[in-house]
Amino acid sequence: MLANGFIRRSNSPAAALILFVPKKDGSMRLCVDYQGLNAVTVKDRYLIPLIDEQLDRLARAVKMAKLDLMGAYNLLRIREGDEWKMAFQTRYGLYKYLVMPFGLCNAPSTFQALMNYVFRDMLDITVLIYLDDILIYTGEGVDHDAVVRTVLGRLREYRLFAKASKCELDVEEVEYLGFLASTKGVQMDPKRVQTINDWPAPRNVHELQVFLGYANYYRRFIPAYSRVIAPLTDLLKGKATGPIEWRDLQQRLFDSLKRALTHEPLLRHFDPALPILVETNASDHAIAATLSQPRQETPADSKETWHPVAYRSWKLNSAQRNYEIHDKELLAIVDALREWRQYCLGTQEQICIHTNHKGLEYFATKRALTARQAQWSLLLADYHFDIRYKSGAQCKVDGLTRRPDMHDGPNAHNELNERVLLPGLRASAGQILVNGYDELLEQIRRETRALAAEVKRVVAFDTTSQLWKHNHAVYVPPGQLRDEALRMSHDTTAAGHGGPRPTLEICRRLFYWPTMAAYVTNYVRTCPLCQRNKSRCHKPYGLLQPLQVPQRPWGSISLDFIEGLPPSGDPAYDSILVVVDRLTKHAVFAPCHKTTGAVNTAVIFMNHVLPVFGAPDEIVSDRGRQFVSVFWMLFAKLLDGSVALSTAYHPQTNGQTKRVNQSLKQYLRMYTNKAQDNWSSLLPMAQFAYNNAPHSATKISPAYAILAFHPKVFPSTTPAGVHDSRAAAFVQDHQLLYDHCQRKVEAARVTYSRLYDAKRRDLMLQVGDQVLLRTTNLQLGQPSKKLSPKLIGPFPIQAKVGRAAYRLQLPARYRCWPVFHVSLLKPLPAAADPQHRATAWPSDAHWTVHDVRDSTQEYQVDRIMSAQKTPEGLEYRVRWAGYDESNDTWEPASHLEHAQQAIHNFEASHPQAPRN
């Protein structure tokens, strides 16, 4: 390298260590450990080609050639002045590279960019390039030799050199990127997988990771690959190092995987001109799919045979295992089309999809969809396909999802989910109990024929019933049957979903097994119906999170409306806007109307507050329609103030104004006439009376805190010129007055926090946690709220908002603000026993969830985002004013009669969009 001018002696302050790695031909390659340099290098974002995409380009190839560049990276010169950064140390001295070495993090992307530029007009047409590997391919009717000469001429022009011993010309099969690519298809390179047969069983985590990493490179050739390796990958869970527990099951799968790596069939090239067949299947634990296309074995054959192009498999996670079988089968289709999007999108001919679930044949015309199905329906709308039913015996991938060794265990997910008795089940409770009990006893007889010695010490065999018993209670063996016994003792209509103690008592009358109490407690604690419908028996969640004490009078204010009052005055007012200063507690009461929007609210604010007290720094309010509009946000911004909105259904955020509202309504009840139509004329005196009375927090009146004197109400008895010297000294500096208010407000805040927190319990949740949502402030579209569930869900947490509120990932059809105070949430308890059954959560697809306020107000449409035609008619995707894109909803055109201007603007800017 020194003689070739690749390196030179150096006195650089930087130095890296060296190492040697063997090449394919047996020689050694010098490599430098540039970890330190790479750590401070700005990484390139140049895209390295995907191997699967490269292999797909060979679908129509009839001839191929491969070139391998010699010393590829060393053909690029390091920029002058930067050579010292590449210095490395040896026992013979310090040297630096003058050309690009191996080991730099940006070396691959730099060389790939060069090669793409050199062959920019031939790339993906007749030439494939992956770093220093060049694959030349030509189709029918193309002069292959001419293309090869063009490539060689281009290399000569840019002074790039190929190594003759590693080049292959005019061939129909070539080794490329670890695969054996031919004119027929792609298969594994025999030279690379022949050592698999001699691979010893892994003994620790590292050896297993090495084997799986090697096998993962060829996963596209192995049907149901993720299912095959699932028991092997399970050994890595929770471990970074150390030995592994290698059993007979793992050894059998290890051997079968090695056989699959050496005997799996050829995968054909994808041809976009040929029909596509996608076969899918799902089991309780996994989904699988195969993509095939028809081929003739020889030109003389008249019959075409379907050959595999790609395999796809996926192990279901814990949430997906709870899906109904219909949704699991549909998930297999969605996952397959999403994985092979580059093949299936934009096909002229219909994609034929085979499934062994007959119900999916009618999915395209199904009207009632759950939120999950509706989301999948949008994804499937991009594809041109036809779903056809094939029985399991005819479905090739059916067996791939039903291997017994892929099950996580008898209790991970079982048939109990389909047998849970829901309240609406139309059957005789007595008949169900009798039949179920007899069936359960028969199953117990079959599974307790052979008992362990330690169990026989506490149970005795009853010859009459042919059952093992403990004090007349039937012994139930571990597994699914214990859940079945608990189902009868807890879930049935006769049991009534009792608590842990009643359920344990009922269960003990008939059944026995060790540690029954803990098992029953865990079962009841994780019962979905109990969690949704039972009342809360613990302290509410969420400690008080008081707002900061303001720094100046009228610097932080709170606003709220009192609505639903009888008409009063001229014009007929029916509401009151209440504005309160959070420091001095000074309040302003302004009459208004229920229809007052953001614009009129701003006008009232400018007439009653701004001329007297100036612009505030902060405005606290609830989530009323006036305060979430775009106009109100802009108005606050013009005042150079911020808007602090409360969380959904948590009035404590704006509790100060709520308390003032109570005092005002109490005053009006005292003095209003019988017709209750004079309350608007009472507001000025009500405002005076409230501000002139000492406040419980500051111990002085709001008027005194603002004016530094008490307003005169009655004739004074103090002679003129006589003043209280202490009062005069106190008000000499208004700042002393404000400091007094701040101290008193802070003391009141501390006291209230202590009293509030004594009746609450703290709860910390994390992003991704599953929680239930209380329905106290929601309408579910059911006849009676008394019989509606107390909680719905579960929903995942998207983000933490503030100190005690969380944003939930709600379905798009839910018409409510997704941020809730922690007091309205309930964490979903995890089963203490990992083998404990997870009862399926009842579907909430039939609910139409929205705010209780929806019946009395309308949401403001900000703009229309898109439109679509459905079997029910035209629908628009609506962006609501004051809400972000996560709250967009699809609304029928009939719901947008008052948003015609927004529809007109959308149609004008989207002339191709669907319309009436």
- What is the per-residue pLDDT for 454? 57
∠ CA 881-370-860, rounded to 5°: 10
pLDDT in tens, 298-325: 655 566 777 777 777 777 887 888 888 8
Q: Are 790 and 534 in contact (CB under 8 A)?
A: yes
Spell out the long-range contacts of 863-871 with Cβ–Cβ below 8 A and sequence spacing 24 or more.
863/902, 863/905, 863/906, 864/899, 864/902, 864/903, 864/905, 864/906, 865/906, 866/910, 866/913, 867/906, 867/910, 867/913, 867/914, 867/915, 868/914, 869/914, 871/365, 871/367
Average pLDDT, the chain: 76
Q: What's the average model confidence in pLDDT over 193-200?
A: 64
The residue type of 342 is: Q
Has residue 578 got a pLDDT over 70?
Answer: yes
More confident call, 354 vs 180: 354
CA-nearest of 535, 464, 474 to 509 is 474
User: Which two three-digit tokens encode residue 773?
Assistant: 């949502």
CA-nearest of 303, 66, 337, 293 to 184 is 293
- What is the per-residue pLDDT for 784? 64
Domain topology for 7-183: Alpha-Beta Plaits (3.30.70)
Has residue 450 got a pLDDT over 50?
Answer: yes
Domain topology for 415-421+429-525: Endonuclease III; domain 1 (1.10.340)
Has residue 777 got a pLDDT over 50?
Answer: yes
Q: Are 578 and 693 in contact (CB under 8 A)?
A: no
Coil, helix or strand at residue 33: coil
Domain topology for 190-263: Alpha-Beta Plaits (3.30.70)
Four-CA torsion 850, 852, 856, 861, nearest 10 degrees: -30
DSSP 828: P
CATH superfamily of 267-297+304-406: Ribonuclease H-like superfamily/Ribonuclease H (3.30.420.10)
Has residue 588 got a pLDDT over 90?
Answer: yes
Tell me whether the CATH fold assigned to 190-263 matches the one assigned to 556-713+723-736: no
**Would you list the domain boundaries of the chain?**
7-183, 190-263, 267-297+304-406, 415-421+429-525, 556-713+723-736, 770-854, 858-909
User: Which two three-digit tokens encode residue 676?
Assistant: 């209750």
Q: What is the pTM of this model?
A: 0.36
User: Which two three-digit tokens encode residue 121?
Assistant: 């007009």
pLDDT band at residue 733 under the 50/70/90 scheme: low
pLDDT in tens, 792-834: 888 899 888 777 788 888 876 676 777 888 888 888 876 544 4
Q: What's the average model confidence in pLDDT over 576-598?
A: 88
Q: How far apart are CA 737 and CA 792, in angstroms?
A: 50
pLDDT band at residue 75 under the 50/70/90 scheme: confident
pLDDT in tens, 894-913: 778 778 888 888 888 888 88
pLDDT band at residue 508 under the 50/70/90 scheme: confident
Domain topology for 556-713+723-736: Nucleotidyltransferase; domain 5 (3.30.420)
pLDDT in tens, 227-239: 667 777 777 776 6
Q: How far apart are CA 198 and CA 214, in angstroms?
A: 14
- Stated length of the chain: 916
Per CATH, the number for 858-909 is: 2.40.50.40
Coil, helix or strand at residue 790: coil
More confident call, 872 vs 119: 119
- What is the per-residue pLDDT for 773? 86
